[in-house]
Chain A
Amino acid sequence: KNQVEQSPQSLIILEGKNCTLQCNYTVSPFSNLRWYKQDTGRGPVSLTIMTFSENTKSNGRYTATLDADTKQSSLHITASQLSDSASYICVVNRHAGNMLTFGGGTRLMVKP
């Protein structure tokens, strides 16, 4: 069964601290993996997209990693800010089309 599992479900950290969110998937065949940020009451916004051959990709303070062998990805947030409070969703594309499988998301709260 094609699935995307994320952990933790929720996370609270203090402003300025780093954190890492995890994503494990069983989706096959694999085309690419995306991380989205979704603010409350808003639609998801893409942070990174990685194909099979890419191991890491950065977007400002966000760094995503991908291990296609173990089917694991992580999203590392450096020097967190209050505006990082949101849900972070891992999404795997099964093939070259646009059939996406979504994880349940990690709800991050950054406190001052």
Chain B
Amino acid sequence: ETGVTQTPRHLVMGMTNKKSLKCEQHLGHNAMYWYKQSAKKPLELMFVYNFKEQTENNSVPSRFSPECPNSSHLFLHLHTLQPEDSALYLCASSQAEGQGANEQYFGPGTRLTVT
């Protein structure tokens, strides 16, 4: 266990549904990240939160909406997704950004299938 948990582990949703992914870290970190991992493609950074403030939005479509209520929790709200959004969504955490070679610890991911 890396100290980062994600729920649900698997999710199947229709294109008109609204769902949320949850991430929680128990490491005392102040930075949290959402990544998308599609088949046969490198991990893509989606969002970065540093001390609960969003510091990076990597040109992600508005159908993905992040929320970071505190340094330990991160959500990804999903609505009107497309089939090409099917992927493994990974959450990670680290010590605050900009503080050297901070290692990122990844959760197990949520396998999302959009039908």
B82 → A minimal CB distance (Å): 23
A35 → B minimal CB distance (Å): 12
Task: Specify which of B42, B100, B101, B108 is in contact with A43 (CB 8 Å cutoff).
Answer: B108
List chain B residues, Cβ under 8 A from A93. Answer: 101
Q: Which of B41-74 contact A (CB under 8 A)?
A: 41-45, 48, 56
A85 → B minimal CB distance (Å): 18
Nearest 6 Cβ contacts at the A-B interface? A43-B106, A102-B42, A102-B43, A32-B101, A97-B98, A104-B42
**In this assembly, does B31 line the interface, its C-beta being within 8 Å of a C-beta of chain A?**
yes
Q: Which residue of A lies closest to B99 (CB)?
A: A96
Given known pairs A43-B2, A89-B43, A104-B42, the reply for A98 and B109 (CB within 8 Å) is no
Given known pairs A41-B111, A42-B109, A43-B4, the reply for A98 and B104 (CB within 8 Å) is yes
Q: Which secondary structure dominates chain B's binding surface?
A: loop
List chain A residues, Cβ under 8 A from B107. Answer: 43
Write out, one digit per residue, whether chain A residues 17-56 have a CB within 8 A of any chain B CB (1) or not (0). Answer: 0000000000000011010100001111110010100000
Given contacts A97-B98, A98-B31, 19 further A-B contacts (CB under 8 A): A31-B101, A32-B101, A34-B103, A41-B109, A41-B111, A43-B4, A44-B43, A45-B106, A46-B105, A49-B103, A51-B101, A96-B99, A97-B97, A98-B33, A98-B102, A102-B42, A102-B44, A104-B41, A105-B42
* Chain A residues within 8 Å of chain B by Cβ, number: 24
**Chain B residues packing against A (C-beta within 8 Å):** 2, 4, 31, 33, 40-45, 48, 56, 90, 92, 94, 97-109, 111
**In this assembly, does A109 line the interface, its C-beta being within 8 Å of a C-beta of chain B?**
no
CA distance A32 to B97 in the complex (A): 14
CA distance A34 to B104 in the complex (A): 10
CA distance A4 to B21 in the complex (A): 29
